[in-house]
Amino acid sequence: MITVSNLCKSFGGLEVLKGVNVEIDKGDVICVIGPSGSGKSTFLRCLNLLEVPTGGQILFNGVDITDKSCNINLHRQKINLFPHMTILRNMTLAPVKLLHKSQEEADAQALKLLQRVGLGDRGNAYPAQLSGGQKQRVAIVRALMMEPEVMLFDEPTSALDPEMVQEVLDIMIELGHDNITMVVVTHEMGFAREVADRVVFCDGGYILEQGTPEHFFTNPQNERTKAFLSKILR
Ligand code: ADP
Ligand code: MG
């Protein structure tokens, strides 16, 4: 579904991505790991063109999205909930405006998704009345309202209190089992172990190693991968 070839991104003189190559098939869950500053977020942002690549190609269903300004169907993840609107309104705004769904249809879909993440009774609450973990769960189902072909997650649990991490991971694990295509920057190796089809290790502007979670847990090859994993797998 997505073929990234020789993707490059520089900020002025700073070369962040120096030639990233990766294949993402429909239904794949890809976990991207690597040191801070290695370009993981930049890579995700290039995938939905929040950053314009300085070189290379991103083919999405055969169309080069770097080539022209096309209407990409990737969800843009880092959008906050509107504080003055109820959860239900936050979830239905975009599908009604952009997908031209009726309010009733969107409401029904939103309620179903909220029920699925254990928030069926919170539709009329405001964001401030939700915990961090609940807000993050709403953010995920709100993204699903747009029926994206790919979900991109940039460290979705990093800002959460430790006791709220698992409730968000559980939702993502479920999505992973549902065959939704996901690219997730995360160091939650338990999550990677359970749902990732492939783990990708980035460092120094390149993907240095990729493989199954098992490969990374039992048999990493690259010295830098080994050093990195020894720090996060304690
Ligand atoms: P990671 O997500 O792996 O921690 P980032 O992709 O956020 O890494 O950043 C990679 C490098 O690119 C860092 O050195 C960062 O300072 C730099 N960078 C990221 N975004 C910008 C930007 N908009 N302008 C200039 N430099 C940036
Ligand atoms: Mg980042």
Q: How far does Cα 56 stand from its chain's mean position? A: 21
Which residues sit with their C-beta closer than 6 Å to ligand 1?
Answer: 11, 14, 16, 34, 36-42
- How far does residue 59's CA lie from ligand 1's centre (Å)? 23
Residue nearest to atom 12 of ligand 1 (CA): 16
- What is the value of pTM for the model shown? 0.89
Can you give the pLDDT at residue 70? 55
45-72 in b/e form (b: 16+ CB < 10 A) is bbbbbebebeebebbbeeeebbeeeeeb
Can you give the pLDDT at residue 79? 56
38 alpha carbon, closest ligand: 1
Q: Which stretches of the chain score pLDDT less than 50?
A: 75, 77
- How far does residue 106's CA lie from ligand 1's centre (Å)? 37
What distance in Å separates the CA atoms of residue 28 and residue 41, rounded to the nearest whole number?
19
- How far does residue 103's CA lie from ligand 2's centre (Å)? 36
- How far does residue 51's CA lie from ligand 1's centre (Å)? 11
Can you give the pLDDT at residue 71? 55
In 3D space, the residue among 183, 192, 173 whose CA is nearest the CA of residue 117 turns out to be 173
Can you give the pLDDT at residue 80? 67
